[in-house]
Amino acid sequence: MAPKKQHALEARILQDQLADLKAGLSVSMPISTMLSALILTVQALSGGGFAAAIWFLVVNAINAARLGLARYPLKETGHQDDLTGISQRLRWFGILALLAGFAWSFLAVLTAGYTTPQAPLHLIILAGISAGAVTYGSSYAAAAINFITPPLLITAACLLAKGNFEAYVLTFAVLLFLGGLVRALFVGQARFREASRLTHEAERLAAEMERNSREDHLTALLNRRGLQHAINQLENTDGPFVAMLIDLDGFKSVNDTYGHRTGDELLVMIARRIEQEAPAGSTLARIGGDEFVLFFPSLRSSLSPSSLASNIIAKVASPYPKVASVRIGASIGIYLAERPGLTEMLLRADVALYTAKRRGRNEFCLFDAELDTELQRRQSIERDLHSAIEARTLAPWFQSIVRLDTEAVIGFEALLRWSHPIHGSISPPEIMTAARETGMLQLLTQTVFSDCCALIDGLVKADRRDVRVAMNVSPRELEAGDIDDMVLDGLAAKDLPTTMFEIEITEESPVDPDRVDEKLGRLSHAGISIALDDFGTGFSTLASLKDSRIRKVKIDQGFIRGLAKSREDRLLVKTVIDLGRALGIDVMAEGVETEADRQILYKLGCRTAQGFLFSEAVPLSQALEVALKEHATEL
């Protein structure tokens, strides 16, 4: 153990010894007074009252001094672990115990060397008070030894002076008694000190663990738990308070390019830079991989939150020599609160942060009334999501996919529809985000798949095996869940053909591409069609076309709407169609809304499409009616 810690531990042990000694005096001193009063009474009855009275007054004067010393507080030194004052106080207790011991030795004088008829009673009282000194003073052996040694040694000397065998035996017994008491005192003191040491070691370790549990070990800042504790300490502090949620831009590239060790070093540098800009008395914490929170009462900052945020962004965005090829930035969400509350502040600061990120890099946003309305809308949607799924007010509707030449229905795509009683129509991306945040994404996916199976079953019974039903799945959803098992097991259980089912996968970057590829391969091998949705808006569009499992691409509606009026869009769409034809991949267009766009697409070589020009999304029963009606017309 370090010398400083050892010194502190010794001080605490001595404090415990002193406290226990004081507690023992509050019991032993009244007993001493009563026993001395008993001796005074016996001596008075036997004719030796004057000397006994003097002895009684001396004994109790010393007892009063010992009690007074116990009540007198230690002088404040400003150092919690000061050994000098504690050691001096213990020495004074030892001195007074020695004086008390000499006072009780005077019993030998009162009993003429323990030869009077009252001597046996005095010896019994002396033995009892000596044993009591061991009982109530074992935490600090020196004081008790100082008290019992003089009277017991003098008693032994008086007995020895009698010069007979019985006296020799009693002398030996007294010395043996003294030796046993001294040994018991040293053993008791050692045990007390060891127990005290273990207690303080446990307290120190617990305090250290508590500190560690509140600290981010990389940056030496507080972690989320430490931030919560710091905010709790400000419950009675006047507001308003400022919470800044700081998220780094471009940090992932540092880990990917330079490795995690360099990334960790950079995080420490960024933490120090933010600290340099932080107002005096503020609290800075790291609550995520590259997320920081700066919290402070607004009155402690001479700058406005906006000015401070701008300074922090500029400081963080300054170049870092070790990662010259990567530009690091910061986005900041700011929330002003009247009362400190971590959950509420982070929630609102996160909404502001998300808005700042939508504006681009190195931006900040202050949570305002407009964002508060947006947050309440989001919370309302998340709160009502589960009941909407159960009540089937949120369900997949189906939009037909048609041939451009004949407008014959060749398929359906499942699209989420939810008319919220307060907020009206909720968009599918908003529904998916709410499901992801509330942990109901799996339930929602199962609901959509179940309705897709119901439509396929109806198509099979109507002898429309030429129609395919598609369901949207994101790569991250495919990666995290067991969608492949759900699809294959679900189709097999209902004895439905896999060739009538299609998965439309959006082009977003998964965390584990190998896992996604494995699942797509399993589905494709089973006969399920894999289509690439929103083609042209993803991260690796052209690279995706090399995947032999992709049998269809859907050109995003952003390129289709107004196609007849945009030469650039026509060139892009034509290129995609020609590329698909060369690779043997079907190309279809989504979002077709005008006859002019339909004709242009057909001239460019596109053969299938979907959009409001042909049909809006309709409930399952109506979709089945459309397919049946068309089939009846053909017959």
CATH number at residue 276: 3.30.70.270
Instruction: Tell me how far apart the alpha carbons of residues 622 and 472 are, in angstroms, rounded to a whole number.
Output: 20
Percent of the chain with pLDDT over 90: 53
Do 54 and 106 lie in a common domain?
Answer: yes
Paired tokens of 128? 């009892």
Paired tokens of 593? 């809304």
Instruction: Tell me how far apart the alpha carbons of residues 223 and 291 are, in angstroms, rounded to a whole number.
Output: 11
Domain boundary, last residue among 155, 174, 209 = 209
Instruction: Tell me how far apart the alpha carbons of residues 394 and 297 are, in angstroms, rounded to a whole number.
Output: 44
Do 329 and 386 lie in a common domain?
Answer: no
Instruction: Tell me how far apart the alpha carbons of residues 122 and 59 are, in angstroms, rounded to a whole number.
Output: 15
Mean pLDDT of the chain: 88
Do 300 and 403 lie in a common domain?
Answer: no
Instruction: Tell me how far apart the alpha carbons of residues 359 and 493 are, in angstroms, rounded to a whole number.
Output: 48
Residue 497 within a domain: yes
What is the rounded average pLDDT of the residues 204-222?
85
Helices (H) and strands (E) in the chain, counts: 23, 14
Band (1; pLDDT cuts 50, 70, 90) = low
Residue 215 within a domain: no
With a CB cutoff of 8 Å and minimum separation 6, the contacts of 18 are 86, 89, 90, 93, 140
Backbone angles phi, psi at 402, to 5 degrees: -125, 165
Instruction: Tell me how far apart the alpha carbons of residues 222 and 215 are, in angstroms, rounded to a whole number.
Output: 4
User: What pLDDT is attached to residue 46?
Assistant: 84
Angle subtended at Cα 346 by Cα 344 and Cα 351, rounded to the nearest 5 degrees: 100
Residue 373 within a domain: no
pLDDT tens readout for residues 40-59 = 998 888 887 888 899 999 99
Better pLDDT: 553 or 78: 553
What is the rounded average pLDDT of the residues 14-42?
90
Residue 547's domain is classified under what CATH number? Answer: 3.20.20.450
275 pLDDT above the threshold of 80: yes
User: What pLDDT is attached to residue 538?
Assistant: 54
Do 27 and 161 lie in a common domain?
Answer: yes
Band (78; pLDDT cuts 50, 70, 90) = very low
Backbone angles phi, psi at 500, to 5 degrees: -90, 5
Instruction: Tell me how far apart the alpha carbons of residues 516 and 502 are, in angstroms, rounded to a whole number.
Output: 16
User: What pLDDT is attached to residue 238?
Assistant: 75
User: What pLDDT is attached to residue 539?
Assistant: 43
Domain boundary, last residue among 152, 182, 209 = 209
Task: Say what the pTM is.
Answer: 0.63
Do 273 and 355 lie in a common domain?
Answer: yes
Helix (H) or strand (E) holding 258: helix 251-258
Do 361 and 438 lie in a common domain?
Answer: no
Backbone angles phi, psi at 99, to 5 degrees: -60, -40
Paired tokens of 232? 């709790």
Do 66 and 25 lie in a common domain?
Answer: yes
Instruction: Tell me the torsion sign for CA atoms 483, 485, 488, 489.
Output: negative
Paired tokens of 498? 């896999």
Place of tokens 């399952």: 620
Residue 635 within a domain: no
Band (635; pLDDT cuts 50, 70, 90) = low
Partners of 286 in the β-ladder:
292
Do 101 and 43 lie in a common domain?
Answer: yes
Band (548; pLDDT cuts 50, 70, 90) = low
N- to C-terminal Cα distance for the chain? 93
Instruction: Tell me how far apart the alpha carbons of residues 235 and 224 are, in angstroms, rounded to a whole number.
Output: 17
Instruction: Tell me how far apart the alpha carbons of residues 19 and 22 are, in angstroms, rounded to a whole number.
Output: 5
Domain boundary, last residue among 312, 346, 367 = 367
Instruction: Tell me how far apart the alpha carbons of residues 527 and 465 are, in angstroms, rounded to a whole number.
Output: 14
Q: Do 41 and 35 contact (CB within 8 A), yes or no?
A: no
Angle subtended at Cα 86 by Cα 82 and Cα 88, rounded to the nearest 5 degrees: 120
Do 512 and 397 lie in a common domain?
Answer: yes
What is the rounded average pLDDT of the residues 145-153?
92
Do 345 and 416 lie in a common domain?
Answer: no
Residue 134 within a domain: yes
Q: Do 553 and 587 contact (CB within 8 A), yes or no?
A: yes
With a CB cutoff of 8 Å and minimum separation 6, the contacts of 353 are 245, 247, 331, 332, 333, 365
Whole domain around residue 551: which residue ranges?
378-627
Do 113 and 193 lie in a common domain?
Answer: yes
What is the rounded average pLDDT of the residues 521-532?
91
pLDDT tens readout for residues 466-502 = 999 999 998 878 877 788 999 999 999 999 999 999 9
What is the rounded average pLDDT of the residues 541-549?
62
Indicate left, alpha or beta for 441 from its phi (over 0: left) and psi (-120 to 50: alpha): alpha
Do 418 and 362 lie in a common domain?
Answer: no
Separation in Å, CA 117 to CA 55, 248, 386, 435: 19, 94, 96, 97
Residue 632 within a domain: no
User: What pLDDT is attached to residue 76?
Assistant: 57
pLDDT tens readout for residues 585-600 = 899 999 999 999 999 9
Instruction: Tell me how far apart the alpha carbons of residues 162 and 156 are, in angstroms, rounded to a whole number.
Output: 10
Residue 217 within a domain: no
203 pLDDT above the threshold of 90: no
Residue 214 within a domain: no
Percent of the chain with pLDDT over 70: 95
What is the rounded average pLDDT of the residues 576-584?
88
Paired tokens of 64? 């009063």
The tally of domains found in the chain comes to 3
Band (540; pLDDT cuts 50, 70, 90) = very low
Instruction: Tell me how far apart the alpha carbons of residues 348 and 356 are, in angstroms, rounded to a whole number.
Output: 13
Partners of 400 in the β-ladder:
412
User: What pLDDT is attached to residue 414?
Assistant: 96
